[in-house]
Amino acid sequence: MAYTKKEIRRLLASAVEEETPDVLPQILSARNQERGKVLSMTQAVQNVQNQQKKKHTIRNWAIGVAAALVLAAGLFGGYQYQSQFAVDTSVSIDVNPSIQLEVNRQEKVLSANPLNEDAQALLEGMELEGTNLKTAVNAVIGAMVQNGYLTDDTDSILLTVDNADAARGEAIQQELTQDINESLQQMSLSGSVFSQSLSSSSELEALASQYGISQGKAYWVQLLTQADSTLSADVLAQLSINDLALLAEARNLRDDANYTGTADESAYIGVERAKEIAVEKAGGGEVTSMEMDLEDGRMVYEGELWLDTTEYDFDIDAVSGEILKWEADTHSYGNGDSWYHNWDHDWDHENGHHGSYTLPEGALTSDEARALVEEKIPGAEITSFSLDWDDGRYQYEGKAYLDNVKYEFEIDAETGEFIKWESKNQGSGNGNSGTSGGSSQRMTLEEAKAIVLEKIPNATILEIELDKEDGRCYYEGEAVDGSVEYEFCMDAVTGEILEWEEDR
> Tens of pLDDT along 417-462?
999 998 876 544 433 333 334 454 678 777 888 999 999 988 888 7
| pLDDT in the model for residue 356 | 43
- pTM equals 0.52
Which of 310, 333, 356 delimits the end of a domain? 333
Listed residue (95, 180, 98) closest to 133, CA to CA: 180
Task: Give SS3 for 363.
Answer: coil
How much of the chain exceeds pLDDT 90, in percent? 32
pLDDT in tens, 368-417: 998 999 999 998 878 777 777 777 788 888 888 787 677 889 999 999 99
Give the torsion through C-alpha atoms of 173, 177, 180, 185, to 10 deg: -170
How would residue 47 be classed by pLDDT, with cut points 50, 70 and 90?
A: low
Q: Is residue 345 part of a domain?
A: no
| 227 and 185, same domain (yes or no) | yes
| pLDDT in the model for residue 350 | 37
Average pLDDT over residues 139-153: 88
Is 358 exposed, middle or buried (CB count within 10 Å of its CB: 0-12, 13-18, 19+)? exposed
Give backbone dihedrals phi and psi of 275, rounded to 5 degrees, phi first: -60, -45
| Strand blocks (E) in 142-199 | 156-163, 192-197
Which of 30, 55, 84 delimits the end of a domain? 84
| 157 and 248, same domain (yes or no) | yes
Q: How far is CA 147 from CA 139, 358, 362, in A?
A: 12, 56, 66
pLDDT in tens, 93-138: 998 889 999 999 999 999 999 998 999 999 998 989 999 999 999 9
| pLDDT in the model for residue 376 | 93
| pLDDT in the model for residue 74 | 58
| pLDDT in the model for residue 380 | 84
| pLDDT in the model for residue 348 | 36
| pLDDT in the model for residue 20 | 45
| 192 and 57, same domain (yes or no) | no
Q: Is residue 73 part of a domain?
A: yes
Q: Is residue 361 part of a domain?
A: no
For the ranges 82-91, 265-274, 331-340, which has the lowest average pLDDT? Answer: 331-340
Distance CA 134, CA 141 (A): 11
Contact in structure between 452 and 477 (CB atoms under 8 Å): yes
What is the CATH number for 328? 3.10.450.40
| 77 and 93, same domain (yes or no) | no
Residue 450 belongs to what domain range? 433-504
pLDDT in tens, 267-276: 899 999 999 9
Domains in the chain: how many in total? 4
| pLDDT in the model for residue 195 | 86
| pLDDT in the model for residue 236 | 94
| 70 and 199, same domain (yes or no) | no
Return left, alpha or beta for 417; rule: phi > 0 is left, psi -120 to 50 is alpha, else beta.
beta
| 154 and 245, same domain (yes or no) | yes
Q: Is residue 406 part of a domain?
A: no
| pLDDT in the model for residue 340 | 37
Give backbone dihedrals phi and psi of 456, rounded to 5 degrees, phi first: -135, 85
| 161 and 48, same domain (yes or no) | no
Listed residue (289, 354, 292, 283) closest to 319, CA to CA: 292
Contact in structure between 328 and 344 (CB atoms under 8 Å): yes
Over 90: is that where the pLDDT of 319 sits? yes
Q: Is residue 215 part of a domain?
A: yes
Q: Is residue 358 part of a domain?
A: no
Q: Which helix (H) or strand (E) holds 83?
A: helix 41-84
| 103 and 217, same domain (yes or no) | yes
Over 80: is that where the pLDDT of 18 sits? no
| 217 and 139, same domain (yes or no) | yes
How would residue 359 be classed by pLDDT, with cut points 50, 70 and 90?
A: low
Q: Is residue 488 part of a domain?
A: yes
| 229 and 328, same domain (yes or no) | no
| 215 and 287, same domain (yes or no) | no
Residues 6+ apart with CB under 8 A from 211: 218, 221, 233, 234, 237
Average pLDDT over residues 491-500: 91
Which of 84, 106, 135 delimits the end of a domain? 84
Q: What average pLDDT does the chain have?
A: 77
Q: Is residue 190 part of a domain?
A: yes
| 170 and 219, same domain (yes or no) | yes
Residues 6+ apart with CB under 8 A from 173: 159, 161, 195, 196, 197, 258
Higher confidence at residue 195 or residue 300? 300
